[in-house]
Amino acid sequence: MNERRNGSETDERPLDHLAPGERGRIARIDAEPGITRRLMELGLVPGTEIEMVRTAPLGDPLEVTVRGLHLSLRRSEAGLIHVAPR
Amino acid sequence: MSRPAEPAAGGARLALEPHRPGPARGRAAASRRIAILGNPNAGKSTLFNALTGLRQKVGNYPGVTVEKKTGTCELPSGARAELIDLPGSYSLHPASPDERIVRDVLLGLQSDTPPPDLVVFVVDATNLDRHLNLALQVIELGRPLVLAVNMMDSAREQGLEIDFPALERHFGVPVIGISAAKGDGLGHLRRLMDREIEPSARHFRQRPAHLQRVLDRLEARLPRHERMPERARHDFALALLLDDGEDDALARAVAPDVLDDAHTLARRLDQTSPGWRSDDVEGRFEAIREVLAAAVVAPGERRDRRRDSIDRVLTHRIFGPVLFVLLMGAVFQSVFAWALPIMDLIDAAIGAFGHALEAVLPPGPLRSLVVDGVVSGVGTTLTFVPQIAILFFFLSVLEDTGYMARAAFIMDRIMGRVGLSGRAFIPLLSSFACAIPGIMATRTIDNRRDRITTIVIAPFMSCSARLPVYALLIGAFIPNVWVGFITLPGIVLCSMYFLGIAAAVVVAALLKRTVLRGGRPLYVMELPPYRMPSWRSILVTVRDRSWLFVKNAGTVILAITIVLWFLASYPRGGADVKALETQHAAALAAGDAPAANLLERRIAGLSLEQSFAGRVGKFLEPAIAPLGFDWRIGVGLVTSFAAREVMVSTLATVFNLGNADDEVVPLRQSLRDAIDPATGQKAYTPLVAVSLMVFFVLACQCMSTVAVVRRETNSWRWPIFMLVMMNALAWLASFAVFQGGRALGLGS
């Protein structure tokens, strides 16, 4: 889990702030515990690389990909996932 | 060995023993139960289809609307295995009804489905780390398991190298490579399915000491479940600890005080060690990473270029929505265009069958019951089938190709406004054709509250059965004048559709803020890879859906049709009807066909007026008079419960127009000319017509819908709620329209 500490706190950004095509590593998830667990079960554990693929035509939700899994995620939830640069 | 003491244990051998009861039954009872399990899109269903061929059937788990797919498969020893295709899951700690079923079957809590003798766990070779998360959870349960690493063909193409013996050593279970779509490795898999497999003794859990202590404490208090392996008790305890208080299966499995204790312990852990809920997941992914680092040589980055380019078009900012609208338009056009002739054909066939029966059976109550009750009830049920079959054909194609998830992705923002997810859009859109397939299509909505909300608002979408009623009333009362570039009838018709949508939005918002309020669900959805659909499995879906409808809803529809037949036929007409019948007989004898025809219509009209339905109509008059309706409309409201369009033929009968199909034009005239006997004024005005249309938009009149809601929600609570809420809303809205209109001087 060393990757987690590579970037300083200020380098971390909420996932929904990434531009399409941009990547990063999941630093932490600030959601309530049940939701955090679910996201982790889907493979979004801290340290994992994640890519913001695109936004839906109306701007929300987002498509992200992690461990080969493409997920649709609403901005409100993506904002709880903090991403550090690779 | 911790094999559960099931009668079928070691079934492959039992089947060969000489003394078994009846041949077929004995073999079925002794066959091995094998579950196919894996993440969504691991190729589970492809493997299931390859192993079972067409020997499969689809049913439901009791109490929920999760599909239960089972089939049989011949093993190399000649024994038969009973295969069950468990729903695709991401975790043993469920977030949807599908995942709950998987957990309950594996823990032995699912009473109708005994735990499997063997689990064949399917993982995608190209996404091993993610798929192994659930695999490891299941291995830890202590059930015999074979790990089938699927899609080896693509893995090889990508240059992925997997050290199978190393994986076997780490996981303690047989691991084989297969390619279900090509049939590679299935012989090896079948041989393993025939063998006794020892459950793995490996542990992959790394739980902090404090969590371990809590789990041990809880575990000690758990009741013994004979079907639950000793090691699974630990996972059962964790399930209780993670329970959100809405899991009925857990609540049933333990005493209330144990569950309460679990909740208290969980709250305490939330305070003392935040993060405890997901620590084990992090630990497991770490363990997987270590194993894969030693056993798999991955070629590095890869991208699915085909997927990228398809997605770039289908979810494009402009082309995406345009293609979506065009595609939906094409689907619904086809449903209308293809279903209508088949429905007409069914109608004609049922009609001809009824006439044939009339010719054979002697006149009397029995003939009337059979022809007007039973045959027409069966007919009503069958006329829904073409729409259901065609819609589900398209929906399955869209689902299986992967497009449905993109449609939900595009529509999520709009549906989010009313508190629903993008998945709710297509069921609601389908409801404009007919609420019944629409409601059946809500099964793709994971979240229970969202699903119920969608079901409750679906009947507000103006279905095709309301169209004849709108057409009759608009044709009779709304003057055909141009208002700008559109005609007044067009505006009125459009307003009716929008009124339904508006009512749906308001009711959805209210429901989500009151009875269906709850923890904010996580709207996360997999966007699966694009695939060619398997036509065979699509046809199986269409067949099973249609059959489920006929079997479950059909019986209720039949019963209500018979009740309505009774209400409309009894009691038989009084002295005045008898007098008309005598005249009718005389006219026939004299060969005066026009007079006989006229008398026949008057007999039908008078009999209906004097029947229970007519009496209910009159009884209802005080209640519906404030809406501008008289008893004749009341009778129509009663009979329209069979199907809304029946309103039209009932009014035709009431106005002595007979039952001919070309009654609409004279019926319009009769409605315009109808006189209110009390006042001598016109009984119906344009205002009454609008009030009646508003009533039809909002009222829950369709018993078939009620039957399907009963079936899909598995309780009478929601259908009864819908009946009361929608009809109260319809009454209030019509009241407001009629009384408001009169106050504004629009009553004449």
CATH of B209-297, one of 1.10.287, 3.40.50, 3.30.1360, 1.10.3470: 1.10.287
Q: How far is the C-alpha of B116 from the C-alpha of B1, rounded, in Å?
A: 15
Q: What are the structural domains, with CATH classification, of chain A?
A: 3-84 (2.30.30.90)
Nearest to A28 by CA among A50, A4, A10: A4
Per-residue pLDDT band for B3 (boundaries 50, 70, 90) equals: very low
User: Which residues of B touch chain A, with CB atoms under 8 Å apart?
Assistant: 90-91, 93, 95, 126-127, 129-130, 133, 242, 244, 270, 274-275, 277-278, 281-282, 285, 311, 315-318, 320-321, 405, 408-410, 412-414, 416, 422, 519, 522-529
CA angle B304, B310, B311 (to 5 degrees): 85
Residues of A in contact with B282 (CB under 8 A): 40, 45-46
Place of tokens 């429905």: B343
Query: What is the rounded average pLDDT of the residues A62-86?
Result: 93
In contact, B667 and B731? CB cutoff 8 Å: no
For residue B357, what pLDDT is reported? Answer: 87
Q: Which two tokens stand for residue A53?
A: 């693929």
Percentage of chain B exceeding pLDDT 90: 30
Q: Is it the case that residue B581 has pLDDT exceeding 50?
A: yes
Q: Position of tokens 């819609």?
A: B391
CA-nearest of B483, B523, B434 to B705 is B434
Distance between CA B96 and CA B64 in Å, rounded?
11
Q: For residues B471-487, give the mean pLDDT.
A: 86
Average pLDDT over residues B56-67: 76
Report the range of poorest mean pLDDT among A18-32, B402-416, B425-439.
Answer: B425-439
DSSP secondary structure string, B57-112? Answer: EEEE-TTS--EEEEEEEE-TTS-EEEEEEPPP-S-SS-SSHHHHHHHHHHHT--TT
Q: How many CA atoms lie within 13 A of B566 on its CB side?
A: 6
Q: Is B38 left (phi over 0), alpha (psi -120 to 50) or beta?
A: left
Mean residue pLDDT of chain A comes to 87
Give dist(CA B528, CA B321) in Å, integer.
Answer: 19
CA distances, B371 to each of B354, B433, B532, B561, B581 (Å): 5, 28, 46, 11, 21
Homologous superfamily in CATH for domain B11-194:
P-loop containing nucleotide triphosphate hydrolases (3.40.50.300)
pLDDT for the residue B13? 33
Identify the closest residue of chain B to A49 by CA–CA distance.
B301
Distance of CA B309 to the CA centre of its chain: 33
Among B127, B133, B244, beta carbon nearest to A41: B133
Comparison of pLDDT for B8 and B109, the residue scoring more: B109
Please tell me the number of Cα atoms within 13 Å of B105 on its side-chain side. 27
> Residue A73: in which H helix or E strand, if any?
strand A69-73
Distance CA B224, CA B595 (A): 81
Q: Among B4-13, B35-44, B193-202, B252-261, which range has the highest average pLDDT? A: B35-44
Assign B658 a pLDDT band (cuts: 50, 70, 90): low
Closest residue in A to B303 (Cα–Cα)? A68
**Interchain proximity A60–B316, CB inside 8 Å:** no
Cβ pair A58:B126 closer than 8 A: no
| Range with the poorest average pLDDT among B144-158, B344-358, B646-660 | B646-660
Which has more pLDDT, B5 or B511? B511
Domain ranges of chain B: 11-194, 209-297
Shortest distance, CA A82 to any CA of chain B (angstroms): 16
* B146 neighbors B120 (Cβ within 8 angstroms): yes
Q: What is the ipTM score, two decimals?
A: 0.90
B735 Cβ neighbours under 8 A, 6+ residues apart: B626, B627
| Average pLDDT of the residues of chain B | 84
Model pLDDT for residues B299-333, shown as the tens digit of each residue: 776 778 889 999 999 999 999 999 998 988 888 77
Asked if B413's CB is within 8 angstroms of A34's CB, the reply is: no
Predicted confidence at residue B585, as pLDDT, reads 85
Contacting residues of B for A60, CB less than 8 Å apart: 412-413, 416
Task: For B491-550, write each residue's pLDDT tens digit.
Answer: 898 899 999 999 999 999 999 888 887 766 788 889 999 988 888 888 888 888 788 778
Give the mean pLDDT of B24-40. 72
Task: Select the residue of B95, B525, B529 nearest A38 (Cβ to Cβ).
Answer: B95
pLDDT on residue B519? 65
